[in-house]
């Protein structure tokens, strides 16, 4: 998917802006507070249906306005024109639109706009909680396997049911709970197999990028399933049954899974500097982009907010070079053009200047 034209209305300090981005690289420049990140945040809504900066959607609606909208005219991977939109008001409601047809099905919209984001906070992928890494892996599976979202929803349903029974101190070995217990295990194993396979496919690609960005280190990536290594989930659930009743929730299963990134045999955050952590995140996201392209033959969108922060010029260049080589549509924000001097070498690019929420192509 490539965005051909984007129209933003009442989004943060932007009243109304229309951008015709490059199908390759779009650079968005402006001083602090001009509205650069707001443009990236608005594009992120098309790929995720939410902000990456706030959980309060009302914060992104322009002051005194009742709602915001993001519309995009796009070319999909079959070379067809597709019109997409996302609108949200100050209430709980949101509306997605695909070719003028309104819907509440966010998954349909976001599945069309595979988007990744890199910001100075992206190190959370390595130093943050395991849920960050599960989300990363599940993003890949969601965009690669049609059935994955259904599986994840069903697993969550069986997990919730199991947790409700544990809260009531129910004996899960009783015949009446057998169907639920077996369904929980079957979906958990299915989810685990898919994630394991995905991480196995991702690992060599990641190691290659990591070697290129940080040649002084040896990287490894391992999937931790969320329960003891040498036991089946059924065995682990039996072993933990008393503990789970005491806790009132299930402590084994893919909802506890993690992806462990080790550098020279130790946890990445114990050895890498902040800049190096960012490069390791960049390598993970490049690997994700490459695997996505390889498995789907589709194109994705990459948003880089404040790429100058703690990445030196050489690393910035390698990162953007790599993304453009995969025909990814890249949007980059920067305060100074000096942070991106290397972009002179790209023939296909567009430069935008943002000032007080207005955008001009340069």
Ligand X SMILES: Nc1ncnc2c1ncn2[C@@H]1O[C@H](COP(=O)(O)OP(=O)(O)OP(=O)(O)O)[C@@H](O)[C@H]1O
> C-beta of 38: minimal distance to ligand X in Å?
3
| CA 299 to the chain's CA centroid | 15
- Over 83-101, what HEC string results? EEEEEEECCCCEEEEECCE
288 binds ligand X (CB under 6 A): no
67 binds ligand X (CB under 6 A): no
Q: Is 88 in contact with 94 (CB distance < 8 Å)?
A: yes
30 carries a ligand binding annotation: yes
> C-beta of 32: minimal distance to ligand X in Å?
3
CB atoms near residue 253 (< 10 Å): 24
62 binds ligand X (CB under 6 A): yes
* Residue (157 or 353) nearer to ligand X, CB: 353
Q: Considering only the stretches 31-39, 122-130, 140-148, 320-328, report the one whose residues sit in contact with ligand X under the rule CB under 6 A.
A: 31-39
37 binds ligand X (CB under 6 A): yes
22 binds ligand X (CB under 6 A): no
Residues within window 320-349 making contact with ligand X, judged by CB under 6 A: 335
Q: Indicate which single residue of 17, 22, 29, 36 sits in contact with ligand X (rule: CB under 6 A).
A: 36
Q: Is 226 in contact with 98 (CB distance < 8 Å)?
A: no
38 binds ligand X (CB under 6 A): yes
Backbone angles phi, psi at 94, to 5 degrees: -140, 160
Q: Considering only the stretches 34-42, 106-114, 152-160, 293-301, report the one whose residues sit in contact with ligand X under the rule CB under 6 A.
A: 34-42
32 carries a ligand binding annotation: yes
Q: Indicate which single residue of 21, 30, 67, 140 sits in contact with ligand X (rule: CB under 6 A).
A: 30
Q: Is 350 in contact with 21 (CB distance < 8 Å)?
A: yes
Residue 71, H or E segment: strand 67-75
63 binds ligand X (CB under 6 A): yes
Q: Considering only the stretches 57-65, 147-155, 207-215, 278-286, report the one whose residues sit in contact with ligand X under the rule CB under 6 A.
A: 57-65
* Residue (61 or 284) nearer to ligand X, CB: 61
Q: Given strand 14-19, what is the order of strands in its sheet?
A: 14-19, 2-11, 67-75, 81-89, 94-98, 101-103
CB atoms near residue 306 (< 10 Å): 19
Q: Is 180 in contact with 187 (CB distance < 8 Å)?
A: no
What are the residues binding ligand X (CB under 6 A)? 12-13, 30, 32-38, 59-63, 335
**Bind-site residues for ATP:** 30-37
């Amino acid at each position: 998917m490539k965005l051909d034209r984007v129209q933003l209305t009442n989004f943060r300090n932007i009243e109304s802006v229309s951008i015709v981005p490059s199908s390759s690289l779009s650079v968005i420049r402006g001083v602090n507070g001009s509205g650069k990140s707001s443009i990236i945040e608005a594009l992120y809504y098309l790929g995720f249906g939410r902000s990456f900066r706030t959980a309060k959607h009302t914060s992104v609606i322009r002051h005194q306005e009742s709602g915001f909208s993001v519309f995009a005219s796009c070319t999909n991977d079959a070379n067809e024109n597709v019109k997409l939109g996302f609108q949200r008001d100050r209430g709980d409601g949101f509306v997605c639109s695909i070719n003028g047809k309104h819907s509440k099905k966010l998954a349909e919209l976001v599945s069309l706009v595979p988007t990744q984001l890199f910001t100075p906070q992206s190190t959370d992928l390595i130093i943050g909680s395991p849920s960050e890494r599960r989300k990363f892996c599940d993003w890949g599976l969601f965009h690669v396997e049609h059935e994955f979202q259904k599986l994840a929803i069903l697993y969550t349903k069986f997990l919730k049911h199991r947790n409700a029974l544990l809260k009531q101190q129910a004996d899960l070995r009783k015949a009446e709970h057998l169907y639920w217990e077996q369904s929980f295990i079957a979906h958990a194993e299915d989810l685990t197999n898919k994630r394991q396979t995905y991480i196995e496919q991702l690992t060599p690609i990641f190691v290659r990028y990591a070697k290129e960005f940080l040649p002084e280190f040896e990287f490894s990536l391992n999937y931790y399933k969320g329960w003891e290594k040498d036991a089946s989930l059924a065995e682990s659930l039996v072993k933990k049954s008393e503990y789970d009743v005491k806790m009132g929730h299930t402590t084994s299963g893919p909802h506890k899974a993690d992806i462990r990134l080790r550098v020279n045999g130790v946890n990445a955050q114990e050895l890498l500097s902040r800049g190096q952590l960012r490069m390791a995140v960049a390598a993970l996201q490049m690997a994700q982009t490459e695997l996505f392209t390889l498995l789907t033959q589709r194109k994705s969108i990459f948003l880089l907010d404040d790429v100058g922060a703690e990445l030196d010029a050489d690393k910035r260049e390698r990162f953007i070079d790599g993304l453009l080589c995969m025909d990814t549509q890249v949007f980059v924000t920067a305060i100074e053009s000096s942070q991106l001097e290397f972009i002179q070498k790209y023939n296909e690019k567009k430069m935008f200047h943002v000032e007080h929420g207005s955008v001009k192509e340069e």
